[in-house]
Structure formats: structure tokens, C-alpha cells
């Protein structure tokens, strides 16, 4: 049987109106952002930050360069100096171009000491390109701003402890856990 175009149009119209009617009495799924906030998922990758050791107040980075090597966008540049006596590396500068980042999270996964993180902070923007080039000072500031709003006592990034990887295959610091105690972190500005 061949259906007339008028019938098909009418049928679609009624179907559409019924869907509208049904949805009209349901609870809204939209959120009135920015007046209402949503809880982001623990796996969300937002603004980059450099974790500060709550005991020493210094960035956790040990300048191993793993993040810079693994980064597919080549957006991480690290400068360091080597202590002549101990041979230890000391981080001098860490620059991350957020506009080139593809938020893959490889940098935070590979970091053996849980230093660089993509925090759950999603409300950020910049007026110019330079605003989204984070140097060490800005990354540390990002971390302090993040923990200032963190309502739990501890912070642990989901990608620091990857599921499915046997414990013995994880680097030593990861076996010990990289949880950051938030209490005691001084936030200046
Ligand atoms: S998340 Fe961004 S900075 Fe980190 S490795 Fe991926 S592209 Fe590079
Ligand atoms: S992987 Fe971690 S410790 Fe190594 S350079 Fe990157 S942020 Fe620093």
C-alpha cells in the first residue's frame, strides 16, 4: 500500500508532538551553568598543574624528561641543571603550551613521581596565546588554585595508578603510592 505524503507528514508531526509532550513533564537534564555546577568525572583531564610537595613546598618534578619525550604534541619543554656533587637534576623551568596539548594524559601517566597532572579544573581560558603557555610558576599556581577548591583531604590522580598493570611492573614510587596530602599546602594568592 502506498501512503500519501500528507499522511506521512501528519504522522511525523504527531510523533514529534508526543515526544515533546512526554519530555515536558520530565525533570530537566540541562544545567544552568555557570550558576549551577556539575561534578566532573575522576578521569576528566583539565588544566595542567605541577604538584607541589606539601612538606617541602617544592614542585615534585625531578626533571627526568619522560613527559617531554612521550608527549605526542611536543608541547613540553624542560630546563634543568645538574648538581656537580650529587649528580642530581634540578628543575629550572618547565613550559607547557596548553593550546598545543591534545589532553591525552600520557605525561601524567608516565611521570614516575606524580608531578605533572591534568587536573579536574575545566573553567579556564586566555585572552591571548601567551595566557595558555604555562611556565613552572604558572603550573604551580594552577596546582595551588586547584587544591584550594579541593574539598577532600587527599588528592590522587586516576592516571597515577593504572588499572590492569601488575604492581611489580610499576616503578617504585608508584608502588608506594603518590597520594598528595592536601591539608597543609599553603596557598598564596
Ligand atoms: S596531555 Fe598534553 S602535554 Fe600531556 S602528553 Fe598529552 S599532549 Fe602532551
Ligand atoms: S615525567 Fe614527571 S618528573 Fe619527569 S620531567 Fe615530567 S613532570 Fe618532571
Band of pLDDT at residue 134, cut at 50, 70 and 90: very high
- All domains of the chain in start order, with CATH: 48-181 (3.30.70.3270)
CA gap 146, 97 in Å, rounded: 19
Residue 189 has pLDDT above 80, yes or no: no
Band of pLDDT at residue 186, cut at 50, 70 and 90: low
Q: Which residues of 81-118 are buried (b: 16+ CB within 10 A; e: fewer)?
A: eeeeeeeebebeebbbbbeebeeebbbbebbbbbbbbb
Could you give the count of Cα atoms lying within 13 Å of 54 in the half-sphere of its Cβ? 13
CA gap 160, 114 in Å, rounded: 6
Band of pLDDT at residue 42, cut at 50, 70 and 90: confident
Ligand 1 centre distance from Cα of residue 70 (Å): 8
Ligand 1 neighbours, Cβ below 6 Å, are 70-73, 75-76, 96, 101-107, 118
Task: Report the nearest atom of ligand 2 relative to the CA of 76.
Answer: 6
Q: Which ligand is nearest to the CA of 98?
A: 1
Residue 138 has pLDDT above 90, yes or no: yes
Q: Taking the complete model, does pTM exceed 0.85, yes or no?
A: no
Amino acid at each position: 500500500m502506498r501512503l500519501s505524503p500528507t499522511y506521512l507528514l501528519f504522522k511525523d508531526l504527531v510523533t514529534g508532538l508526543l515526544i515533546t509532550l512526554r519530555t515536558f513533564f520530565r525533570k530537566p537534564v540541562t544545567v544552568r551553568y555557570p550558576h549551577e555546577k556539575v561534578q566532573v568525572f575522576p578521569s576528566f583531564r583539565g588544566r595542567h598543574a605541577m604538584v607541589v610537595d606539601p612538606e617541602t613546598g617544592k614542585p615534585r618534578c625531578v626533571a627526568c624528561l619522560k613527559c617531554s619525550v612521550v608527549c605526542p604534541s611536543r608541547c613540553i619543554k624542560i630546563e634543568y641543571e645538574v648538581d656537580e656533587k650529587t649528580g642530581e637534576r634540578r628543575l629550572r623551568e618547565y613550559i607547557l603550551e596548553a593550546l598545543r596539548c591534545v589532553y591525552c594524559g600520557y605525561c601524567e601517566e608516565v611521570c614516575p613521581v606524580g608531578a605533572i597532572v591534568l587536573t579536574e579544573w575545566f573553567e579556564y581560558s586566555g585572552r591571548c596565546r601567551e595566557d595558555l603557555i604555562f611556565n613552572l610558576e604558572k603550573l604551580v599556581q594552577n596546582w595551588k588554585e586547584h587544591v584550594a577548591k579541593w574539598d577532600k583531604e587527599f588528592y590522587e590522580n586516576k592516571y597515577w595508578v593504572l588499572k590492569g598493570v601488575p604492581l611489580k611492573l610499576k616503578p617504585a614510587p608508584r608502588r608506594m603510592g603518590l597520594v598528595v596530602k592536601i591539608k597543609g599546602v599553603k596557598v598564596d594568592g
